[in-house]
Structure formats: structure tokens, C-alpha cells
Structure 1
């Protein structure tokens, strides 16, 4: 629901017309479609991969120069595995990305979004279906672009947002807690604290079993 509002799939006005979402003080409802597409990049939970080359999957018909495609792939930490394919960036990724792991698909999706040079990058549960090792690669890639892109991440796996400047906790559609990780962990019995500790215990238990 929140992502749908951010992507303008429906209006935030509400019944009384009091709701609004703004970018740098400008209501997103007033931004024309082409400019909005250029300024907002999306990395979905299940990225769609074309039965086309790595280059084409990052470009997505935008006619971008190869230098920009490669730079985006490097920023997303996707360059190394793409370069290792038999034909590099011209290698077909297979129907639905059948030649890629779940983590590699996400890195392609991040490269695709970054290639558009957006001001805002939206992540919708982008690391929920990848292993811990690939999650760390994704986190490193995002950390490296934080200085030039505003990142809004929707996540239930709280380790992925630990380093965020601000974490907003929603419970049944309402904001219950807000602040950096350290501040939220100091709220005794708080929802974020309880969920974070539970996830850490679960993760530690799984690693011990391995």
C-alpha cells in the first residue's frame, strides 16, 4: 500500500483531501509522468528479467550508452558476474533470468534502476529472498550510492535497514516509532526492538545449525 502511494498508483489525498506526499516540498501528484519516471527508480521484490542480454536488461529500451550501463552494473556490484558470462554483457540471461540466481537477479534490478540516474531509489523487500552472503553484497552496493541517491526501503528483514538514517515503524498502517536503529533499540518493549532481537536470535540459531 505504501509503495503504491509512492509510485502514484493511487492518490494520497484521502477522503478529506488532507493527505499529500512531497519530494523536496513538491507534491508528487503535480510532477509529470516522464519526469517522475526519471527521478524515481524501483527495485521490486521479484524483478522481471527479459529473455535478453544483460545489457538489454539493464538498458530496458532507453538507448543508454554502454559506459552508463557498465557504470550502473559496477555500482550495483553486478559487473563481475556479468563479465564472467561467456559473452559478457551480450549474454542472454534466459527466460525469466533462468541463468541467474535470485541474488543476481536483484543486482541486475538495482543496476537497471541506477542506470536511470534517479534521485530516489525505492526498494520493495529487495533482499527478502536472497541468502545472507548476497544480502551483504546488496547492502554494500546501496551503502556506496547513499550519498547521491535517496533510498526508501520497505523491509521486514530488519538487518537490511539497520544503517538507515531514519527508520519508520508501521503497525496496522500507523507510525508507532521513528528514528535511527540505535534510538529504536533503546525503547524497552518497543515493536522494533522486539522484532529485531527475535530476528537476530532466529538468524543465529540457523547459523549454529549450519
Structure 2
């Protein structure tokens, strides 16, 4: 594996963790296997920063699936593989076909109606987000789970001692102590636990 291939592989996990400046050579904290050592030593911070700057730039629109920025990023990675001399894994292509069904909810037609004790209250856009392909009627107990965050690595779990099976779970958006610079949740910044994409799967495990 040559330096270009190593660099391309290194860029992907570093998309959100690049820091520092300059053109320093990579300095491993553990021994580098002799097989890849020659290529590894040619990787510079400047090269990684250039790649990261491109992949995280505004024109790539966050590389969201099915968006133009995602397509550009895919083609860029494939071209880097080709330059590195890697063998295509899918015929003459580096890109694996994956069927994806795109679904966009109609905000004007999306709402939630809460019925309780003979009364009902309707919540529409923008009080709610998300949507279903068809009307859904759910009758279940409601349980409040704080911010809906389960972060054992930070010693925090809103679900500790709560039984949510078969229930509607009500949670706050974002994460705790967002205005506290000393918060274990990255101070006044956000961690991945602030996103609904992380919170929702935690209910399925």
C-alpha cells in the first residue's frame, strides 16, 4: 500500500478530529508495521489538512446521502483510490452499488395529535419534525427520559432505571449543560449525543 492509499484511508476517520497546522510528518504513538512504514512516513499534516478542508467545505453540503455534495465526495475518494493504484472491487469500479429509497415527508401534511382524557391537541410543523409514510395511530403510556442521552463513556445515562419498552418516550432536544463550559459534553459545544440520529437508535437496542 503506497502513501496515497494510506493518506486516503487516514482522512476518513479524521474528518472531525483534525487539529494543528503546518506540514509536519505523521508521528505514530505506536510502532508502525514495517510493511507500511515507508508510505506512512511520507504522510504530512499539510496533505491531510488539504483533504479534510475539501471534504468538509461548504460546496460538499455536509456530504448528506443523495445530495450533490455526497456524489462529489464519493467520486473524489474513488479517484484517490485509482491514483493510489488500488484494484477496483466491483468490476472496473471502486463504488459499491447500494439501493437507497429516498423519502421526504410533506411538512404541510405532517402533524401529531395527542389525545388524553377525552381531549386532544394537535402539533404541526414546525412544532414537530419527521414524518410517516402513512397515518399511524399509537396508544401507549408516555415516559419522560430527560435528554434521551445514553453516554456511558461520560458517566451519563438518561435511561438508567427507566423502562421504555412499549412506551412513547418524550425527550428534550440537544444535550445537558450546553451553556456550561465545564460540561462533560464538550463544554459549550455539542457532541454526537445531541443529535436525534444518535438518540433514536438508542431506543432500539
TM-score over 0.5 (shorter chain): no
TM range (shorter): under 0.3
Structure ranking higher in helix proportion:
1
Q: TM-score, normalised on structure 2?
A: 0.21
Q: TM-score, normalised on structure 1?
A: 0.21
